[in-house]
């Protein structure tokens, strides 16, 4: 899916016009009862640092857009599969354009039922080069709240962050397992066992959201 076809108003933006941008995925920062929820990455994505610690990513809820699927239907499917809940979209005041892990621009996208307004558009370089490669690949990320408590299914687990702790959590680049377990504003709900020496770090959607929080986003 081409990002500029999915959101035609972006063709007016000088940072994006005349670029080939493939929209590959949809994600969301999920809120419920004043708490934010982030996905704990599956074991196949874990890695070791130079000190022997296991690095585990914390990200948004979401996934790849399937053939014939719209942005909104993909978002609803992913939340249903991963959290067993129905989402309600929150419409942001502006959309943040993020490239090279920096806030490039703020956009005012017209509201539309067909084209729901994302909180963030995250641009990344394509993994493969060549003449047919796009200039960027993109993930559109939304802010949603749930109609019920999340019940994690197709995830390794969830990290719950109280609203009052969001700024503190994202002020650090990594958190150790014991730090999270002993913090009253943080809680883990796990479907997979964790090895010793785990350190959590924000990735993809959570990393982009960290930029917003550090810039003063509430």
Read off the pTM.
0.93
pLDDT at 31: 95
* Mean of pLDDT values over 41-70: 91
pLDDT at 195: 82
**Calpha distance 136→172 (Å, rounded):** 28
pLDDT at 45 over 70: yes
Q: For the chain, how many residues are written?
A: 218
The pairing of beta strand 120-124 with beta strand 136-146: antiparallel
Domain that holds residue 202: 3-214
Query: How many domains, the chain?
Result: 1
Query: CB count, 10 Å around CB of 100?
Result: 8
pLDDT at 129 over 70: no
pLDDT at 127 over 80: no
Contact assessment for residue 174 and residue 210, using Cβ atoms and an 8 Å cutoff: no
pLDDT at 37 over 90: yes
Q: What is the DSSP string of 84-101?
A: SS-EEEE--SSEEEEETT
Q: Which residues contact 48 (CB under 8 A, 6 or more apart)?
A: 54, 55
Structure confidence at residue 130 as a pLDDT band (50, 70, 90): low
pLDDT at 137 over 70: yes
pLDDT at 131 over 70: no
SS3 211: helix
Torsions phi, psi for 77 (to 5 deg)? -65, -45
CA distance readout (Å), 15 to 51, 135, 139, 215: 40, 12, 16, 21
Burial (CB count within 10 angstroms: exposed 0-12, middle 13-18, buried 19+), residue 72:
middle
Averaged confidence pLDDT in the chain: 91
| pLDDT tens digits for range 147-206 | 888 888 888 899 999 999 999 999 999 999 999 999 999 999 988 788 888 999 999 999
| pLDDT tens digits for range 89-120 | 999 999 999 999 999 999 998 877 788 899 99
pLDDT at 159: 96
Higher per-residue confidence, 18 vs 7: 7
Give the CATH number for residue 29.
Answer: 3.90.79.10
Q: What is the DSSP string of 17-57?
A: TT--EEEEEEEEEEEETTEEEEEEPPGGG-EE-TTSPEEEE
Contact assessment for residue 80 and residue 74, using Cβ atoms and an 8 Å cutoff: no
Structure confidence at residue 122 as a pLDDT band (50, 70, 90): very high
């Amino acid at each position: 899916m081409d990002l500029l076809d999915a959101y035609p108003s972006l063709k007016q933006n000088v940072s994006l016009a005349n670029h080939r941008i493939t929209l590959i995925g949809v994600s969301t920062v999920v809120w419920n009862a004043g708490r934010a929820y982030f996905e704990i990455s599956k074991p196949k994505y874990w890695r070791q640092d130079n000190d022997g610690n296991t690095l585990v990513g914390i990200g948004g809820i979401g996934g790849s857009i399937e053939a014939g699927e719209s942005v909104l239907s993909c978002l609803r499917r992913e939340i249903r599969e991963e959290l067993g809940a129905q989402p309600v979209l929150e419409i942001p005041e502006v959309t943040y354009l993020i490239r090279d892990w920096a806030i490039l621009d703020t956009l005012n996208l017209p509201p539309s039922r067909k084209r729901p307004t994302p909180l963030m558009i995250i641009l990344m370089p394509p993994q493969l080069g060549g003449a047919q490669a796009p200039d960027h690949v993109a993930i559109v990320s939304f802010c949603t709240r749930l109609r019920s408590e999340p019940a994690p299914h197709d995830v390794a687990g969830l990290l719950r962050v109280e609203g009052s702790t969001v700024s503190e959590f994202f002020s650090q680049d990594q958190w150790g397992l014991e730090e999270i377990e002993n913090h009253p504003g943080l809680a883990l709900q796990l479907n997979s066992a964790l090895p010793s020496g785990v350190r959590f770090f924000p990735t993809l959607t959570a990393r982009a959201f960290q930029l917003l929080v550090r810039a003063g986003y509430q």
